[in-house]
Amino acid sequence: MATIRNGVNLDNIQQLVEAVKEDAEVAKVKFVANSTWKQGTKTEVTIADWYSGGQNAAREGREFKIAIDEPAQLGGADEAPNPAEVLAAGLCGCITAGIATNAALFGTDVEQIEVTVEVDFDIRGLLGLERDVPSQALNINYSVNLKGPGDSEKLIKSKEVIDGKSPVKNTLANPVSVTTSVNILEDQLDAVVAG
């Protein structure tokens, strides 16, 4: 029977730790998202495959869809969260999962985890009104509320550990290399005429 605490499968984590000890390549993971434009500012993002050690580690049939839009003031229909809100949601998820996992590893139970992420922007740069105003986030703040029957010091430690180890927080807080490319898809009619 699996060792589960706070809904976290500790046996799976231990198996991963052992696999990484045997082969450091297993620790090299890649997560992938693909988007399709749905008109206006609407996008549908599909998440399915993820890789460990160069091998697809996703379970068969794994596929998630995330709708993204913009508020009306930014030209959208406001039918889904915007990209900055999805970014905030990613940080919420990372911090929440990390606290639950750390508490389980520290042997303490959690009844409630609430994370609020606020991302501040000055959109004058994005709107082209002020060229020297950056279009990136200016500040990110998150607060955490925790409740559990166990040791409150372990609950606080669970949050403090993920503060230092959160992959999403660290990606946002530290410079990371971003590369990009573009491909122009041929119109099918042009391809037939040229062929």
**pLDDT value at residue 186:** 84
**Domain range list for the chain:** 1-80, 82-174
Report the pLDDT value the prediction gives residue 13, as an integer from 0 to 100: 95
| pLDDT, tens only, 21-44 | 999 999 999 999 999 999 999 999
Same fold, 1-80 and 82-174: yes
Our CA dihedral for 16, 18, 22, 24, rounded to 10 degrees, sits at 40
Q: What is the rounded CA–CA span in Å between residue 68 and residue 88? A: 13
Residues 6+ apart with CB under 8 A from 37: 43
Closest by CA to 43, choosing from 68, 74, 80, is: 68
1-80 is a CATH 3.30.300.20 domain: yes
What is the pLDDT at residue 150? Answer: 78
Task: Give Cα separations from 135 to 123, 125, 130, 164 (angstroms).
Answer: 6, 5, 10, 26
Q: Which amino acid is at 103?
A: A
Residue 1: count of CB within 10 angstroms of its CB: 4
What is the predicted pLDDT for the residue at 189? Answer: 59
SS3 112: strand
- pTM for the full predicted model: 0.90
- Nearest Cα to 158, choosing from 173, 172, 147? 147
Q: Mean pLDDT for each 10-residue chunk of the chain (195 residues)?
A: 94 96 97 97 98 97 98 97 98 98 96 98 94 94 95 95 97 95 80 54
Model pLDDT, residue 180: 96
Structure confidence at residue 187 (pLDDT): 74
Fold (topology level) of 82-174: GMP Synthetase; Chain A, domain 3 (3.30.300)
Reported as type and span, the H/E element at residue 117 is: strand 112-120
